[in-house]
Every structure is written in structure tokens, then in C-alpha cells.
């Protein structure tokens, strides 16, 4: 294993081969993370994650070049710190609030931030950390997504968006829910300017009497008179 140790030591230096290896590694690992986001049609997809990861790696390569090759006495972590700050602005652009007050894009923003951190590790020559980070980040946004859905689909706390035929149907809906022993915490009517002509969309925060699949609850609510559509954010 001596050859592997010597190779890694060489690739951690400030030379052309090490720089090229780091940038190609950042392109590969950023693409792996971005591929899943792109398949789900997220605002920041395949190319965005590649550019973020490569940019972060490039920042660290520049810092190393300034400190090692040029011999400048400076804090080499300063450029990396500014990368993290810059990703905050980029990630904010992927977070949107829909007309039904649903917040979307948080996982994509977190993925961009994690990709930038992974790029910093690559640029610093910490390849072992980058490999583990790539694997764990990819597993988090793929496999754990189904685990999260499974866990949240059977909790007693539940938020639903209900589209009614008219606002006059809201009292009957709430009475029916209370008759099902559902505790209602909050009711909010959204995206309605004229309640006399528009079909209101209502966000209801509630707690079920016992744990049961949320799909069954949604089906039961959809059958109530005056309800046009029901969905869970």
C-alpha cells in the first residue's frame, strides 16, 4: 500500500496533476448529487451541483496555491468561508413558497450547501472525507426520502390543503372533522380575494385521534360534501 500512500501524498500537493484530479473529482461527485435532483425536476439540478462543487474545489485550490506556491502568509480558509456565504444566496433562490403556503426547495438548497462543502474537502485534498460525504449525501436524498415519507405518513399530526366549492362549506367541514374526533389547531384561508365567487383553498392543521395512514384520512375528507380536492403538503 506504499504506492497508494505516495500517490495520495502527491495528489494533495499544489501541482497540475493534483489540481486536475480535484476538479474532475468535484465534477464527478457534484454530478452524482445533482443527477438525483435533476431527475426530480428541481430548480438546481445536474449542472448546478457540478458547478457549485467545482467552484468550491477551485477556491480551495487557489488558496493552497497562494499559500504554498506564492508563499503568501494568509489564512487559506478565508476563500472557503466566502464560498459557504455565497451558497446561501444561491440556495435561497431554490426555496419557494407556493400559493397554498407550501415551502418547497429546502432539500435542494441543503444539497447545494452540502455539495459546496464536499467541493471544499476535495479542493483541500481531503479525498477520504469527500468520498464518504458523497456516499452519505446521495443516500440521504434518495433512500432516506422514502423513509421520511413512511414515518410522516402515519403520524397523528397532519396538515392538509382543502379546496372547497364555496366558503359557506367551511363550517360544515370543520364540524364533520370534529365529529371524527379530529382536533383542529389552526385554519387558514388562502389565495382568495373574493370569497363570494372564488373556490377557497383552506389550510387545516389538525391532530388525529389515533395513528392511521394519512391516505385514508384524505380519502374520508374528500368524500365530505362541498370538498372539491384534498392534498397533504
Same domain flag for 31 and 56: yes
Q: For position 151, what pLDDT does the model report?
A: 75
User: Residues 119-126: what's their mean pLDDT?
Assistant: 91
The proportion of the chain whose per-residue pLDDT surpasses 70, expressed as a percent, equals: 91
User: Residues 160-175: what's their mean pLDDT?
Assistant: 84
Q: For position 99, what pLDDT does the model report?
A: 61
Q: Has residue 102 got a pLDDT over 70?
A: no
Same domain flag for 22 and 65: yes
pLDDT digits (tens, 9 = 90+) for 134-158: 999 999 888 887 787 777 777 888 8
Same domain flag for 136 and 226: no
Place of cell 452519505: 136
Same domain flag for 188 and 139: no
* Structural domain containing residue 179: 157-231
Same domain flag for 210 and 132: no
Closest to 106 measured CA to CA, from 134, 140, 77, 78:
140
Same domain flag for 169 and 78: no
User: Residues 190-214: what's their mean pLDDT?
Assistant: 74
Q: For position 132, what pLDDT does the model report?
A: 94
Same domain flag for 122 and 187: no
Over the range 8-31, which residues count as b (16 or more CB within 10 Å of their CB) and which as e?
eeebbebeeebbebbbebbbebbb
Distance CA 20, CA 99 (A): 45
Domain boundary among the residues 116, 131, 152 is at 152
Q: How many domains does the chain have?
A: 2
Q: For position 202, what pLDDT does the model report?
A: 86
The proportion of the chain whose per-residue pLDDT surpasses 90, expressed as a percent, equals: 17
| pTM recorded for the entire structure | 0.73
Same domain flag for 9 and 121: yes
DSSP output for the chain = -HHHHHHHHHHTSSSHHHHHHHHHHHHHHHHHHHHHHHHTT-SS-HHHHHHHHHHHHHHHHHHHIIIIIS---S-TTHHHHHHHHHHHHHHHTT-EE-TTS-EE-HHHHHHHHHHHHHHHHHHTT-HHHHHHHHHHHHHHHHHHHHHHHHHHTT-SEEEEEEEES-GGGHHHHHHHHHHTTPEEEEEEEES-S-TTTS--EEEEEEE-SS---HHHHHHHHHTSTTEEEEE--
Closest to 206 measured CA to CA, from 169, 155, 132, 168:
155
Same domain flag for 227 and 146: no
Same domain flag for 188 and 145: no
User: Residues 97-109: what's their mean pLDDT?
Assistant: 72
Domain boundary among the residues 98, 129, 152 is at 152
Q: For position 198, what pLDDT does the model report?
A: 62
Q: How many residues can be counted in the chain? A: 233
Burial environment of residue 199 by CB neighbours within 10 A (0 to 12, 13 to 18, 19 or more): middle
Q: For position 25, what pLDDT does the model report?
A: 93
Q: Has residue 203 got a pLDDT over 80?
A: yes
Lowest mean pLDDT, pick from 50-54, 104-108, 192-196, 203-207: 192-196
Domain boundary among the residues 117, 152, 187 is at 152
Cell of 4: 497508494
Q: For position 86, what pLDDT does the model report?
A: 82
Q: For position 24, what pLDDT does the model report?
A: 93
Mean pLDDT over all residues of the chain? 82
pLDDT category at 8 given cuts 50, 70, 90 is: confident
Q: Dihedral angle at the C-alpha atoms of 196, 200, 206, 209, nearest 10 degrees? A: 80
Are β-strands 227-231 and 96-97 bridged in parallel, bridged antiparallel, or unpaired?
unpaired
pLDDT digits (tens, 9 = 90+) for 169-201: 888 888 888 888 888 888 888 765 555 546 778
Same domain flag for 23 and 99: yes
Same domain flag for 15 and 113: yes
Amino acid at each position: 500500500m506504499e504506492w497508494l500512500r505516495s500517490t495520495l501524498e502527491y495528489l494533495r500537493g499544489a501541482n497540475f496533476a493534483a489540481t486536475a484530479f480535484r476538479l474532475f473529482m468535484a465534477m464527478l461527485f457534484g454530478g452524482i448529487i445533482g443527477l438525483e435532483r435533476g431527475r426530480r425536476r428541481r430548480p438546481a439540478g445536474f449542472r448546478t451541483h457540478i458547478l457549485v462543487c467545482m467552484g468550491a474545489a477551485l477556491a480551495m485550490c487557489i488558496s493552497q496555491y497562494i499559500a504554498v506556491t506564492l508563499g503568501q502568509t494568509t489564512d487559506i480558509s478565508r476563500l472557503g468561508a466566502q464560498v459557504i456565504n455565497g451558497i446561501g444566496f444561491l440556495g435561497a433562490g431554490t426555496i419557494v413558497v407556493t400559493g397554498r403556503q407550501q415551502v418547497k426547495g429546502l432539500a435542494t438548497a441543503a444539497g447545494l450547501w452540502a455539495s459546496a462543502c464536499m467541493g471544499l474537502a476535495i479542493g483541500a485534498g481531503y479525498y477520504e472525507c469527500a468520498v464518504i460525504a458523497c456516499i452519505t449525501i446521495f443516500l440521504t436524498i434518495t433512500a432516506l426520502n422514502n423513509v421520511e415519507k413512511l414515518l410522516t405518513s402515519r403520524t397523528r399530526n397532519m396538515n392538509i390543503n382543502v379546496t372547497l366549492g364555496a366558503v359557506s362549506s367551511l363550517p360544515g367541514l370543520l364540524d364533520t372533522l370534529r365529529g371524527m374526533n379530529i382536533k383542529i389547531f389552526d385554519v387558514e384561508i388562502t389565495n382568495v380575494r373574493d370569497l363570494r365567487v372564488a373556490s377557497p383553498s383552506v389550510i387545516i392543521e389538525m391532530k388525529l385521534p389515533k395513528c392511521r395512514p394519512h391516505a385514508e384520512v384524505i380519502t374520508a375528507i374528500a368524500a365530505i360534501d362541498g370538498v372539491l380536492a384534498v392534498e397533504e403538503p
